[in-house]
Amino acid sequence: MITADRRPTRRLVPVTALSLLLAGGAVPAGAAVEDETLDLTLLATTDVHGHVYNWDYFADGPYEDSEDILGLTRVASVVQDVRAAQGEESVVVLDNGDAIQGTPLTYYYGMGDGADDVLSGALTHPMAQAFNHIGYDAQVVGNHEYNYGLEMLAAYDEDLDAPLLGANVLEAGTDEPYHEPYTLIERTIDGEQVTVGVIGLVTPGVRYWDKQHVEGVLDFQDMVTAAQRWVPVVEAQADVVVVLAHTGEGNVANEDYDPALLPEDVINNIAYFAPGIDVLVAGHSHEDVPQQVYTNIEGDPVLMTQPSSWARSVTETSLTLVPEGDGWQVDWSQANAPTAVAHYGSETEEDPALAEALREEHETTVDYVNTPVAQSVTELPAATSRYEDTPIIDFINHVQAQTVDAALEGTEYADATVISQASPFSRTAVFPEGEVTIRDIASLYIYENTLRAVELTGAQLQDYLEYSARYFAQVAEGAEFDPETGTNAAYPDRPDGVPDYNYDVVSGLEYYIDISQPVGERIVDLSYPDGTPVGDDDVFVMALNNYRQSGGGAFPHVAEAPVVYDELLEIRQLLIDRASERGVIDPVDFAAENWWLVTAADQVPVDPTPQPTEPAEPTQEPTTAPTPTGAPSPTADVPAPGGPGGRLPETGAGTTAGLAGTALLLLVGAGAVLATRRRVQG
């Protein structure tokens, strides 16, 4: 349980002549009908994720759905209009984090070929250019600000005109903030001086999501604890206290809150435990909540606003300020209580000046993503990947497993069974038949994750797959599976449903998922490709992304498992390099149908008892591990890891149609067999 010191309330209802008369009091001579008030407007964005333009780099065209019209070029127009209406001094513009990651534009200048110019100072970071053009007054670091390392974050910070805040980000082993904890913004409104204090907080999950960048350098303090530390400091100096909190609505009740657990989403807990806050700007969860009012521990109201992500909206918070001593405070009387509304991108036009300012960087990015890398022999869609085994996800797992398998040659894990994990990040990604570009691969693998590998036992792997299978809603035995209702199951810790990126499939072994069973009892017949059951004590090396290995998604065992591979190679670049060096994307080279969804036990084929096999020898000597991103990649083939002996089974599957026997997983009736199990010797 966390507590807060009680302090006298700062809330004040302005006294008017009318209220005195109604109360039976005398009206002082010369009393005004209403005390002097000032109007202050806060404009906020959050989770912009590199969206300067209303442009979908993956589709190579503008967003056209009215709900998705977006971008800072439209935010700029809203800011200009509000400043013109309210007066520039009356408007404060804020961003709530996750700005420099999320599109090919930010990738190209954060990790790609344009990064060196940003780091050297030859080019101002494109996102800093955009925020500076609009004239932001303060920003907070989001968790994705750390994705490209502290050197790139420092370069971005240096390029910003506004302060980049982070009160709960501490220099490792100290209580000293690494970023500025807060800033004081001075305004002259109607001739009166007003001070707006802004504190920045970021969700502490960075400590494991970007462990490779921050471990031993930064500590991430509980957000509520940091708010309790800094709100009184800022409140003593400011008329209005605003907290930029890169965190969403939490699911921990205030009476159960434990700061030692460093929860990810705590906006409600910050509002309650840190009295003195006037306005909270939320984010991280990509929700659209223009206005919500909380009540703090002292019984006072706190306004929360969360703009829509990707610069789809700007929220406008209107505050009426009334005198308090020598300063001002927010008026919460019924007539003047704060309000927040959203301005959406679809309601305005883009600012041509900002559009022109970044035209060169935008066009460079468009050229980059449209670079051809290979020819695909058939169309490979990702639309059904969340509920059936598809070749396009097999491509990810194949490249990851081969990369790890090659790197382990000559080590104690050289003979290990290498398996791989991947998630269906996108429902719209597709490798078209014919020319495949960087854009196509980037639309499949949308994150800048790096590749790692860990050692797991068979029992741990069973737990891992059971946890992944909670993604599916339970159905009646033998029921027909409906993809529209059967995925993204909701739980207390995921009230909005388990997202697609937290459903993992594993290659190199075979298994069934019986969704008629309760969570924890769904993985059936986990075995090697030759049919040998996986033993609890069997040892595997699993290739996986750094987000998952660092604890992202709370999958069991992997965060504590021994890390046996980590060369900081970016997975998306590995996919691009592999496609480019081969020149052809052909499912026969990598597709291996190895998992199936069923709704009854009798839909799992029963095979004769398999004969144990000795690990097969590789058919070809592996090459050395791929070189780092941007350097030439090896072109020699390596044996495909997976089952016993480190080789994937030969499937004989040549086209998408040949692999689509369970395509829609629509169970025609109870007892229908979804797929025929294929046992192939490794």
Question: How sure is the predictor about 609, in pLDDT bands with cuts at 50, 70 and 90?
Answer: low
Give residue-wise pLDDT tens across range 128-144.
999 999 999 999 999 99
> What are residue 341's DSSP bridge partners?
316
Per-residue pLDDT at 512 exceeds 70 = yes
CA dihedral in degrees (42, 47, 50, 55; nearest 10)?
-90
pLDDT by residue (tens digit) across 565-591?
999 899 999 999 999 999 999 999 999
- The reported pLDDT for the residue numbered 66 is 86
Going by the DSSP 8-state scheme, the letter that residue 644 receives in this structure is G
Q: How would you classify the pairing of strands 505-507 and 417-422?
A: antiparallel
Q: What are 418's strand-pairing partners?
A: 541
pLDDT at 4 over 90: no
138 DSSP β-pair partners: 94
Convert 533-570 into a string of H (helix), E (strand) and C (coil): ECCCCCEEEEEEEHHHHCCCCCCCCCCCCCEEEEEEEE
Q: Coil, strand or helix: which one is 296?
A: coil
Question: What confidence tens digit (pLDDT) does each residue in 347-372 have?
Answer: 999 999 999 999 999 999 999 999 99
Residue ranges of alpha helices (H) inside 215-351 are: 223-235, 267-273
Q: Give the C-alpha distances (Å, rounded to integers) separating 57 from 63, 116, 478.
A: 10, 22, 42
| Per-residue pLDDT at 653 exceeds 70 | no
**Alpha-carbon gap, residue 582 to 585, rounded angstroms:** 7
Look at residue 149 in the predicted model and tell me its pLDDT: 95
List pLDDT tens digits, range 190-222: 999 999 999 999 999 999 889 889 999 999 999
User: What digits encode the pLDDT tens for the residues 462-506?
Assistant: 999 999 999 999 999 999 999 999 999 999 989 999 999 999 999
CA–CA distance, 169 with 574 (Å, rounded to integer): 32
**What local confidence, expressed as pLDDT, does residue 351 receive?**
98
619 has a pLDDT exceeding 60: no
Report the alpha-carbon distance of residue 271 to residue 293 in Å, rounded.
9
Please name the residues in contact with 536: beta carbons below 8 A apart, sequence gap of 6 or more. 457, 458, 459, 462
| Mean of the per-residue pLDDT values of the chain | 87
Q: Mind giving me the DSSP string for 27-61?
A: PPTT--SS---EEEEEEEE---TT--SS-BTTTTB
pLDDT tens by residue, 259-311: 999 999 999 999 999 999 999 999 999 999 999 999 999 999 999 999 999 99
Measured CA to CA, the distance from residue 177 to residue 441 in angstroms comes to 39
Residues contacting 398, CB < 8 A, separation 6+: 420, 507, 589, 590, 592, 640, 648
Instruction: Return the pLDDT at 625.
Output: 32
Q: Which two tokens stand for residue 530?
A: 């030759």
In this predicted model, what pLDDT tens digit does every residue of 544-559 receive, in sequence order? 999 999 999 999 999 9
pLDDT at 35: 61
Is the full-model pTM beyond 0.85? no
Q: Name the residue among 596, 570, 554, 422 with its Cα closest to residue 501.
A: 422
Beta-ladder partners of 454: 542, 563
CA distance 76 to 250: 31
User: Does the structure show a pLDDT above 50 at 637?
Assistant: no
Residue 445 has pLDDT above 90, yes or no: yes
For 9-54, how does the pLDDT look when each residue is reduced to its tens digit (9 = 90+)?
333 333 333 333 333 343 333 333 346 999 999 999 999 999 999 9
- pLDDT, mean of residues 413-431: 97
